[in-house]
Amino acid sequence: MTVFGRDFIKKGMDVQPGTPDGIPRFRFGCMILGLVLFGGMEPGAASPDCESILPSLKVPAKLKTRGKPKRGRWENVDKVITRVREAVQDQACSLTLEQLFRVRRQEIFFPLTNNVLRTVPEESLHGVSVYSNDGERLGEFSNIVPYHRSGGLYAVKGYTLHYFQYQDQEGGLHSSGTDLLLDNFLLEWSEIKDRVVISTPSPTEGDFQPGQRQ
């Protein structure tokens, strides 16, 4: 959650429980916070135009798995997310992982790829458990960090990549590093399946890109 969001909730709760206007003011604060975080839409909601596109994108797509512990194939994840993100970029959409993928069993891991970091709203992953690729719990997701990389000798433009940080049990902050993530870091499907992974504003809200901080 952003600093603004935390401050807004605190202000909204600074009302004595016994006062007549306590409940309405708190509910109003929650409503405004929802508009800030989700662009005026409930998590998982989609405009009629967005909903009409989804069947043609063949989602929810089967999440193919591999390895032990069982985890989604990172290439499968990236392919589906890219396809849907590009198809709905001009629509007002807020889509959860469960709307994009279907699984045979709930006890699997989901790979936290660079493409997922590029796309997902940071608030969606805040506080979720992060695991190594052998299933060891490392800590809790903290934040996404964008960084710029030059295009090299023959490229005119550079490009933006992302890594993430997580917090261990002692409160220490660790970085995923700038190497390709693939399936080196995992999340529990059962914990994140109802989290928003793609959130695009209506065209009138400007040129905000999925995953970009406002």
Q: How many other CB atoms are there within 10 angstroms of residue 129's CB atom?
A: 15
Q: What is the pTM of this model?
A: 0.69
Give percent of the chain above pLDDT 90: 51
The string of pLDDT tens digits covering residues 117-155 is 999 999 999 999 999 999 999 999 999 998 887 766 665
Please give the backbone phi and psi of residue 198, each rounded to the nearest 5 degrees, phi first.
Answer: -125, 125
Can you give the length of the chain in residues?
214
Best CA proximity match to 192, nearest among 101, 60, 62, 92: 101
How many angstroms separate the Cα of 77 from the Cα of each of 5, 62, 64, 157, 162? 30, 10, 9, 27, 17
**C-alpha angle 75-130-193 in degrees, rounded to nearest 5:** 65
What pLDDT, in 10s, does the model give residues 67-88?
999 999 999 999 999 999 999 8
Neighbours of 120 (CB within 10 A): 24
Residue whose tokens read 């433009």? 157
Largest CA distance in the chain: 67
